[in-house]
């Protein structure tokens, strides 16, 4: 089966040459092991950070080894009673067609009511990220105004809809195309949305200010615009800064940091994996919202493992609406 490896570390924007494909033979599962044929693979912006050889909250991807990441697959052969053949499982051995795994490293998921891919998106890590950011980190309260950047992506589209479901008064999104902006307002119920490619985010956000909660997926100019328009005692959930991930030099900004003092703001970063204690509550709540049609999820699906690198690289160009996935 085919697997994708990191062969060299990107400097700035990664290129296809940083990746390579290898073919491996997988043996039959031994006791306590399962052989999983992957059906859906996740590409995520955080993977860019792991391609650098720097100390962070997760170790760097080693060179010359198969990459990992979120994946869903079907058990093809099993040496473990707890995970039968035919079960759909979620695990972290992505970037490959199939994987031999210890049974305790896979989680059986229920696909009777939602498609398998939901566990990589709205009912998975991105959905939980949106929930944790709004509730625990930003402490969203009834009636507040929420601004979400990267709003048409996996985390952002969930965050904007959940903000309403959690009682926000007004939800404003930012995304990089007219189609995405229409989707946010017409289909997802955002009260307003702006296209950051149309001009200054600060100017476009002006009519919607002041902002009580800013859910930051982008950093850079978006963070600066939010700092400018925050209400007194506003909270910023610092989730990501995709506009900086391929930068080769530290950005100069953001300006308006003094507003943190004068408006008594809270800016708090978080890593979703450290908030697993909210997963049960999230899953019950979001599962119900999805079942009731109150929480919508869109996917951009790329076919073929040989297009997985392209799918990953295109996250940084906004090729996806909703969650970016690969079907190997």
Binding site for ligand NDP (CB under 6 A): 44-46, 126, 129, 150, 152-156, 175-177, 180, 217-218, 239-240, 242-243, 270-272, 315-316, 318, 320, 324
Nearest CB to ligand NDP, comparing residues 80 and 120? 120
- Identify which of residues 87 and 289 has a Cβ nearer to ligand NDP in the complex: 289
Closest CA to 237 of 269, 276, 271: 269
Instruction: Give the torsion sign (CA, 155, 156, 159, 161).
Output: negative
Q: At closest approach, how far in Å is the CB of 297 from ligand NDP?
A: 11
Nearest-approach distance from CB 226 to ligand NDP, in angstroms: 13
Nearer to ligand NDP, 29 or 322 (CB): 322
Rounded to a whole number of angstroms, the minimum distance from the CB of residue 1 to ligand NDP is: 26
Strand pairing category for 230-238 and 266-269? parallel
Q: Quick one: 141 or 271, whose CB is closer to ligand NDP?
A: 271
Q: How far is the CB of 2 from ligand NDP (least distance, A)?
A: 24
Beta strands (DSSP E) in 117-265 are 145-148, 170-175, 192-195, 211-216, 230-238
Whether the ω angle into residue 141 lies within 30 degrees of 0, i.e. cis, is no
The Cα–Cα gap between 200 and 210 comes to: 17
CB of 175 to ligand NDP, least distance (A): 4
The DSSP call for residue 307 is G
How far is residue 247's CA from residue 259's CA, in Å, rounded to a whole number? Answer: 26
Q: Give me the residues paired with residue 96 across strands.
A: 3
As measured in angstroms, the least distance from the Cβ of 37 to ligand NDP is 25
Shortest distance in whole angstroms from residue 31 CB to ligand NDP? 35
- Cβ contact 256:223 at 8 Å: no
The SS3 call for residue 288 is helix
* CB-nearer residue toward ligand NDP: 2 or 139: 139
Which residue, 78 or 161, has its beta carbon nearer to ligand NDP? 161
63, 6 contact by CB (below 8 A): yes
Please tell me the distance from the alpha carbon of residue 244 to that of residue 290, in angstroms, as a whole number. 32
Choose between 49 and 189: whose C-beta lies nearer to ligand NDP. 49
Q: Which two tokens stand for residue 105?
A: 């490293």
Minimum CB–partner distance for residue 70 and ligand NDP (Å):
10
Q: Please, which residues bridge with residue 237 across strands?
A: 215, 268
Q: Which pair of structure tokens corresponds to residue 252? A: 């100069």
Between 29 and 94, whose beta carbon lies closer to ligand NDP?
Answer: 94
């Amino acid at each position: 089966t085919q697997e994708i490896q990191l062969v060299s570390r990107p400097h700035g924007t990664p290129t296809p040459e940083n990746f390579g494909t290898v073919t491996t033979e997988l043996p039959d599962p031994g006791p306590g092991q399962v052989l999983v044929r992957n059906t859906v693979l996740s590409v995520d912006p955080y993977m860019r950070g792991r391609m650098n050889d720097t100390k962070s909250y997760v170790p760097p991807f080693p060179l010359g080894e198969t990459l990992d990441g979120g994946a869903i697959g079907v058990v093809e052969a099993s040496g473990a009673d707890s995970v039968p053949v035919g079960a759909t499982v979620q695990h972290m051995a992505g970037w490959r067609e199939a994987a031999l795994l210890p049974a305790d490293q896979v989680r059986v998921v229920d696909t009777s009511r939602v498609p398998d891919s939901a566990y990589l998106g709205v009912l998975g890590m991105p959905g939980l990220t949106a929930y944790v950011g709004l509730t625990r980190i930003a402490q969203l309260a009834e009636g507040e105004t929420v601004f979400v950047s990267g709003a048409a992506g996996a985390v952002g589209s969930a965050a904007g809809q959940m903000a309403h479901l959690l009682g926000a008064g007004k939800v404003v999104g930012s995304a990089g195309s007219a189609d995405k902006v229409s989707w946010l307002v017409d289909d997802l119920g955002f009260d307003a949305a702006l296209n950051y490619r149309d001009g200054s985010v600060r100017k476009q956000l002006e009519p919607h200010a002041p902002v009580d909660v800013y859910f930051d997926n982008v950093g850079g100019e978006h963070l600066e615009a939010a700092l400018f328009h925050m209400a007194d005692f506003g909270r910023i959930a610092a989730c990501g800064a995709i506009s900086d991930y391929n930068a080769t030099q530290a950005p100069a900004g953001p300006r308006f940091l003094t507003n943190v003092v004068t408006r008594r703001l809270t800016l708090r970063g978080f890593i979703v994996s450290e908030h697993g204690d909210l997963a049960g509550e999230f899953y019950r709540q979001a599962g119900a919202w999805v079942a009731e049609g109150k929480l919508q999820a869109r996917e951009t699906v790329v076919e073929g493992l040989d297009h997985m690198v392209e799918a990953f690289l295109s996250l940084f160009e906004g090729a996806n609406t909703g969650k970016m996935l690969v079907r190997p």
